[in-house]
Structure 1
Amino acid sequence: MKLEHVNLTVRDPKTTAAILCELFDWQVRWEGESIYDGYTVHVGDTESYLALYAPPKEIQNAEESYYRAGGLNHIGIVVADLDMVEARVKAAGFVPGSHADYEPGKRFYFEGPDDVEYEVISYA
């Protein structure tokens, strides 16, 4: 068994998709109208993806995820070249932090679009 996708509510699925495709070399797998008259864009690779959903009305940020049952705390993305992705993250205007070198790999985190935290990991 494997994880196929995660569905996130975002303000602008097309913009978020473009950023994530640029950072992680992903592709748009599908996009279109979706549940509750919203709009969704699926980004990822042939194995897994993020579904980026926007409802038809303006949304607000909820309370801190680490203190909310069911909160999304971060999304971990495995990459082959950590330094290259970190350079892309910086070029896109995001700030990498919480760097760690641990067995079996290295990682950093950044707050991406819609205040979603991403952990970028390399086992190379």
Structure 2
Amino acid sequence: MATLEHANFTVSDPKVTAEWLHKVFGWDIRWQGPAIAGGYTVHVGDESTYLALYAPARPARTTESSYDTVGGLNHVGVVVDDLDATETLVREAGFTPHSHADYEPGRRFYFDDDNGIEFEVVSYA
């Protein structure tokens, strides 16, 4: 069976994104440094999985919806033990949780970060 090792996202400031990911999810920086095309990358996660946060030399924003774009990133799902505690940390990081739902076998909510990346936070506890 295969395991997802990492996903790579373009963000405006990898260090800023890595900082809030650490505060909210407890993930640590595994590596950081210069990257392709004069950009900069930070790898943040745990010992087996991570997000690669890449910023190009000249970042550009899009107004396209990922749900309408083939190949678009729709959201990232993160499993946590304590959904309520994580929601508090998400709010403290300056993000607004939305679309709360209870479903079998767990509970969830979503939030959009400052890069426009949607995160789904789910707990099966």
**So what's the TM-score if we normalise by structure 1?**
0.97
Which residue of 2 is the match for residue 96 of structure 1? 97
1:9-88 equivalence runs, <5 A: 9-88=10-89
Measure the CA separation in 1 of the matches of 2:12 and 2:31: 18
Sequence identity of aligned pairs in percent? 57
Measure the CA separation in 1 of the matches of 2:61 and 2:97: 24
**Aligned alpha-carbon RMSD (Å):** 0.8
Deviations 1:85-120 (A, max 9, x none): 000011111110101111111000000120100000
Measure the CA separation in 2 of the matches of 1:87 and 1:43: 21
**So what's the TM-score if we normalise by structure 2?**
0.96
Cα distance, 1:60 vs structure 2: 1.5
Measure the CA separation in 1 of the matches of 2:42 and 2:63: 22
| Alignment: residue pair count | 124
Which residue of 2 is the match for residue 105 of structure 1? 106
Measure the CA separation in 2 of the matches of 1:51 and 1:30: 9
Measure the CA separation in 1 of the matches of 2:62 and 2:13: 14
Measure the CA separation in 1 of the matches of 2:67 and 2:85: 29
Measure the CA separation in 2 of the matches of 1:32 and 1:4: 19
Paired residue type of 2:77: G
The list of structure 1 runs, each at least 4 consecutive aligned residues, that deviate by more than 4 angstroms after superposition, is none
Measure the CA separation in 1 of the matches of 2:114 and 2:28: 17
Which residue of 1 is the match for residue 3 of structure 2? 2
